[in-house]
Chains A and B, each alone.
Chain A
Amino acid sequence: MSFDSATVQKIARLARIAISDDEAEKLQGELSAILGWVEMLNEVDVEGVAPMTSVTPMTLKKRRDEVTDGGYAEKVTANAPESDEHFFVVPKVVE
């Protein structure tokens, strides 16, 4: 399996990272090499093996469905590159 330039651009689009044609070309080689290397996993017989879902045996904890946090919009938006009255400001998304 190896990547072509179109696949690299497609993944980059999915990941929301703009990449130039030069970068795509370089990544094509690097990602193909990494993918070639992980193909080693095909040697392993995983028939009937359950995929790991939790690395230590634990049951996910539950709690009452009630508000335990919040009420500080000022703090939440304090680091925003652009905000207005506790809203994050972005380019227009709805026509």
Chain B
Amino acid sequence: MSKLSDLTIAGMRDGLAGKSFSATELAESSITAIEAARDLNAFVTEAPEKALEMARTSDARIAKGEAGPLEGIPLGIKDLYCTEGTLTTASSHILDGFVPGYESTVTANLWGDGAVMLGKLACDEFAMGSSNETSYYGNVINPWRNRGSNKPLVPGGSSGGSSAAVAARLCPGATATDTGGSIRQPAAFTGTVGIKPTYGRCSRWGIAAFASSLDQAGPITRTVRDAAIMLRSMAGHDPKDSTSVDIALPDFEAALTGDIRGMKIGIPKEYRMDGMKAEIETLWTQGIGWLKDAGAEIIDISLPHTKYALPAYYIVANAEASSNLARYDGVKYGLREQGVDITELYEKTRAAGFGAEVKRRILMGTYVLSAGYYDAYYLRAQKVRTLIKRDFEQVFETIDTILTPSTPTAAFAAGEKTDPIDMYLNDIFTVTVNMSGLPAISIPAGLSSEGTPLGLQLIGKAFDEETLFRVGGVLEEAAGFDAAPENWWA
């Protein structure tokens, strides 16, 4: 018999509404699954007592007929989100012992709608990485393995704890964040659904900042419907984030009509990279076929500045990171190393507290913003960014959405990529969207030759997540992805 923790968010919602089980039973089932899955190292902090307490409150609300849209649904929270009274580390040593006195807006929205917190999920340190190998708390392991092998694979990053936990059915959904692909790439690597909404859709307040003009919160779930349900609760205007937009929040779930007849789908030729793996190309072609069969019109498009998005991203993101991470100084919270004077205190604390990748990015960012180099690097990158966004604006005059692969490869082995640029290239298909502020979703669509998941990505117009859910639902059904990782960890 399958376990309660194996259910989707929609399945849990229906079961709770039909009184087939209680929120407490759901939480207990997830807690048991989490305790049995410690080999995955997905959680930095498990919060079973908090979960049971919240679940009991949910049961009481359900009994009174006051259930919220996510009442009793147990969720995992990426450790970049501040949670009041629960350790929040951003998977960094420098935040040792940090227990926020406040709640991030997005998590507050989730709890307000009745959701239950299972614990805090590991990520790359300050969300900087594509493999979850930069976390101070050790690698997260992908529940998926190559066929006939027990070599550990990465769960993607930076939201690798989120993707691994959802793929392993420890929770039906998890919060994540995406600065250059950190929701969609881990979703693709684990056979899960991940959506990065339009910049401004979710409040960034209370989420540890990496690159403020690119960061955006979103969910990782197992189905498109669940992503729609969860995003609806996460999103919304917040006066505490001046970049959060004050526009109507649609019922995303209602967008799943299954009807995409007459919709125009763009296929960008620049995403057909030299040396693209045959299985990625095959998957993409298959996806085009599925949408065509469902009545959509396929249109070849061009996004000429695609190849410049990644280098421009590494200037903009690192510049913003170097500024955002200046706050970690050993004075206000977290780790402190003593020094003879305050400068030495700062320097020693930051030397001990940050990992190699974070230091590399802070230094790169400091350099491109330093006197004499600002125009050559940062200003030029922001101009290139305007051109990247313009590419999208032009094609979106005639099409509804764009279909691309999510990643250039399937999940790779831990320790396999040691060159920073080689690692950065993971985000080649996802990063353009962050540079333009647009929404995009990754949907599991097939298996690699090694038997591990591959994803397809849909890119939408600004604030048109509904089209992504609508087309995504059709893609999901056509792909019929029902593979699950073999449970080797419990």
Report Cα–Cα, A55/B199, bound state, in Å: 7
Please, what's the 1-or-0 string for A32-43, where 1 marks a CB less than 8 Å from any CB in chain B?
A: 011101101111
- B437 adjacent to A55 (CB under 8 Å): yes
Interface size for A (C-beta < 8 A) is 49
Please, what's the 1-or-0 string for B97-121, where 1 marks a CB less than 8 Å from any CB in chain A?
A: 1111100000000000000000000
- B351 adjacent to A75 (CB under 8 Å): no
Q: Quick check: is B303 within 8 A (CB to CB) of the other chain? A: no
- A58 adjacent to B213 (CB under 8 Å): no
- Could you tell me which A residues sit within 8 Å of B by CB distance? 7-8, 11-19, 27, 30-31, 33-35, 37-38, 40-44, 46, 49-53, 55-56, 58, 60-61, 63, 72, 75-76, 78-82, 88, 90-93
Q: Quick check: is B407 within 8 A (CB to CB) of the other chain? A: no
Give the contacting residue for A37; candidates B351, B384, B421; CB below 8 A.
B421
Give the contacting residue for A40; candidates B311, B359, B362, B363; CB below 8 A.
B311
Interface size for B (C-beta < 8 A) is 71
- Can you offer 18 A-B residue contacts whose CB atoms are under 8 A? A11-B366, A13-B347, A15-B366, A17-B347, A18-B347, A33-B419, A40-B307, A41-B315, A44-B308, A50-B383, A51-B386, A55-B436, A72-B101, A78-B99, A79-B98, A79-B99, A81-B335, A90-B345
- Could you tell me which B residues sit within 8 Å of A by CB distance? 97-101, 198-200, 213-214, 239, 242-243, 245-246, 305, 307-308, 311-312, 314-315, 322, 326, 329-336, 339-348, 350-351, 354, 359-360, 362-364, 366-367, 370, 377, 379-387, 389, 419-421, 435-437, 462
Please report the number of residue pairs spanning A and B whose Cβ atoms sit closer than 8 angstroms.
Answer: 159
- B366 adjacent to A14 (CB under 8 Å): yes
- B347 adjacent to A46 (CB under 8 Å): no
Known contacts A17-B347, A17-B350, A91-B342; A80/B333 CB under 8 A: yes
Q: Which 3 A-B pairs have the closest CB atoms?
A: A55-B437, A79-B333, A51-B382
Give the contacting residue for B386; candidates A34, A41, A43, A49; CB below 8 A.
A49
- B363 adjacent to A17 (CB under 8 Å): yes
Report Cα–Cα, A60/B315, bound state, in Å: 24
- B350 adjacent to A78 (CB under 8 Å): no
